[in-house]
Amino acid sequence: PEGTDLTALIPSLTFENCLATTGTVYDFSTPVVYEYIGPGGCPSEWVVVADIETGYNNKDFKGISVFPNPAKQQVIIRNANGFDILLYNSLGIPVLQQKISDNLISIDLSDVADGLYIMHFSLDDKRSHKRILVHK
C-alpha cells in the first residue's frame, strides 16, 4: 500500500529437503532481482520490485495501474486514456512509444528483452513513471 515503509521488510525463505542456515536483512527500498542457490544446492529465483516514486507530483496518476509486474509477454494498462507512454530500458534508451486510446489496453512486450524498464506517462504538462520488470 502507498506509504508503507519498505525498509523493515525481511524476506522469508522456505525450503523442502534443504536446511536454511543463515538469514540476511534486505533493503527493499529499490527494485532488486535476486538469484539464489540455497543450502544443499536447491536453486531458487525470485524478483522483488518495490516501486518508490520520487521527484514527481503523482496525485493525478493514482488511478493508473500497470500489471502484471513482473511481466512476461505483455502488460495491461488501466485508466490511462489519452496519455502518451514511453518505455525506457535501463540504459535510458526508448524501446517503445505509444499513445493510449482506451481505459484498458494491452502492451505487447514479446520483443522486449528481460530487464528493468521505466514507463513514463505524460499528458499535457503532467509527468509520472512506473518501474516495470520484464522476466520471461
CATH of domain 59-134: 2.60.40.10
Q: Mind listing the pLDDT tens digit for each residue in 57-74?
A: 444 456 788 999 999 999
Domains of the chain: which residue ranges? 6-48, 59-134
| pLDDT, mean of residues 125-129 | 80
- Whole-number Å distance between alpha carbons of 90 and 87: 10
- Whole-number Å distance between alpha carbons of 102 and 80: 7
pTM: 0.56
Instruction: Examine residue 31 and say whether the peptide bond preceding it is cis (omega within 30 degrees of 0).
Output: no
Q: Mind listing the pLDDT tens digit for each residue in 59-112?
A: 445 678 899 999 999 999 998 999 999 999 888 889 999 999 999 999 999 999
